[in-house]
Structure 1
């Protein structure tokens, strides 16, 4: 019986290059041994996520997510909660394509990225689960909280498309003088941190916003998050940390807590109680604190590059 594969693609990703590549991608999927079909996402909320769930429940063995990190996140959210999950492949066509970078998928050529499935090399990857008031959401690359994380969703998409990484640097420089601290209780495997902080990152990979040394010890399938807590919000100290982060030396700084954990609980303390503190999942606002995170080890099997 022929295996079925579904291409879920965002037509506006990659400077709207996706539609003209669909036929070639479907042909590659057929060469890989799948009966292939395509779904073009719409403006409906969670369009890719809903189609991923439908395809998985219909018995599709592979879902190919083509678009930016947001499209990939939606497809993951469409299947991560299921008992029987299809394999996934990704075709990057966004601005930073962090997860494609982590999986060694070609990021400059859509057709070449699709050919990764022809090599039949897969790896079961960890998935992050965030629970807000009993409701679960999932992520594959990064969860973040704190005033500095606003730069990931505070940059308009058209500016990100035009300037790439530079857009984040410009936004970060603009925000530094106005950063505020939040008072939180963080409960993780090695203990509890209570106090003020500018930002925390919970990473699945080593790449954030295109920078590859932010989480230098990241593994993709060990069941552990990389937890980074930035305790200072002083602009001068943050600029120094940004410079150190270019080569991974920030993790040893006194203003940083860097550890591994299977779970994390975030609670508001002091003057932060009652605030709507957003939690960013793969570059988009997921929901608001409090939140509990759990690492779902080797939850989804992905096609990976060399």
Structure 2
């Protein structure tokens, strides 16, 4: 369901951002903030200094002062803000100024990270879309939660390299991990039905790793998860899936299972990482479900 923001009343927003994101991203943020204020919006900025700050700032935000909290950064920053809004119970809307590496949420809602005018107008006036979010071991996620090789890549990728090389950093780390990773078996129980795989991603959105579709039937507005199960181990399997994803062929590979579910249990090596929205947010075993609460997301 889409609800419209009164076009005559630009929003009061709290923008949460990481000042270490880099000079180019800092300039983009300044341009977007200038655009919002030029449209009549009121902007308060808070800079994060360490992990967890974005979540704390969002939890402290009050509906008396703001209409929305805007995550200025990548999908990991959005995840922190999402969890802070859940803790704060303020009912504030969630928005994004996409400054990250993959910007999967921006892909999902049709927001162009390079279009400063579109981003500013969306923050100020964009309609609200009520979305269902996921939970992994009680932590919220907006886009996806996964276990297996992708989670190990997220855990191992260098922040400095990611800042310098962007998406290429994930390619480098994927190749490095693929050689030494032992591809342990994962057991997945989805709404009572058991599957096996070497990598699994529970998707709330269609996209994965950028503008690449992993779960074509996933919908942020739906109270369901689309579970993508990849069964083949080894470097050959990883290369097969890694090539199929950007070609849009991953969900149609004969051995790949994509199933709908509301409640999922993933077991495997105890303590193995679980990624949520591109950051490590949990450890196996992982219980994944749909949260009872919904969130209003600002869309173009």
TM-score by length of 2: 0.86
Measured in 2, the distance between the counterparts of 1:249 and 1:56 equals 44
Larger deviation, residues 23-32 vs 84-93: 23-32
Superposition map of 1:161-240 within 5 A? 161-189=163-191, 191-193=193-195, 195=196, 197-240=197-240
Superposition map of 1:60-75 within 5 A? 60-75=66-81
Measured after TM superposition, the shift of residue 206 of structure 1 is 1.9
Larger deviation, residues 23-32 vs 238-247: 23-32
Alignment CA distance shift 1:30-1:265 (3 Å): farther
Partner of 1:301, secondary structure, is strand
Measured in 2, the distance between the counterparts of 1:61 and 1:226 equals 31
Measured after TM superposition, the shift of residue 123 of structure 1 is 0.9
> RMSD across aligned C-alpha pairs, in angstroms?
2.7
Q: Structure 2 regions of 5+ residues with no counterpart?
A: 1-8
Measured in 1, the distance between the counterparts of 2:112 and 2:156 equals 27
Measured after TM superposition, the shift of residue 61 of structure 1 is 2.1
| Cross-structure match for 1:265 | 265
Match among 21, 45, 64 for residue 13 of structure 1: 21
Partner of 2:94, secondary structure, is strand
Measured after TM superposition, the shift of residue 14 of structure 1 is 4.8
Superposition map of 1:124-163 within 5 A? 124-131=130-137, 136-163=138-165
Superposition map of 1:4-83 within 5 A? 4-15=12-23, 17-18=25-26, 21-22=29-30, 25=33, 28=36, 31=39, 34-43=41-50, 45-56=51-62, 60-83=66-89
Measured after TM superposition, the shift of residue 35 of structure 1 is 4.0
Measured in 1, the distance between the counterparts of 2:229 and 2:72 equals 32
Give yes or no for contact 1:30–1:36 (8 Å, CA) kept in 2.
Answer: no
Partner of 1:18, secondary structure, is helix
TM-score by length of 1: 0.84
| Cross-structure match for 1:99 | 105
Partner of 1:182, secondary structure, is coil
| Cross-structure match for 1:289 | 284
Measured after TM superposition, the shift of residue 28 of structure 1 is 1.2
| Cross-structure match for 2:241 | 241
Partner of 2:19, secondary structure, is coil
Alignment CA distance shift 1:190-1:50 (3 Å): same
Partner of 2:61, secondary structure, is helix
Give yes or no for contact 2:32–2:119 (8 Å, CA) kept in 1.
Answer: no
Alignment CA distance shift 1:31-1:250 (3 Å): closer
Deviations 1:165-215 (A, max 9, x none): 22222222232232223233322126122x4x3211111212222142222
Measured in 2, the distance between the counterparts of 1:179 and 1:39 equals 39
Partner of 1:42, secondary structure, is coil
- 4+ residue runs over 3 A deviation: 1-4, 14-17, 19-24, 29-32, 56-59, 81-84, 109-112
Deviations 1:108-158 (A, max 9, x none): 245542221344322112211112xxxx21111121111343223322122
Measured after TM superposition, the shift of residue 276 of structure 1 is 1.9
Give yes or no for contact 1:221–1:298 (8 Å, CA) kept in 2.
Answer: no
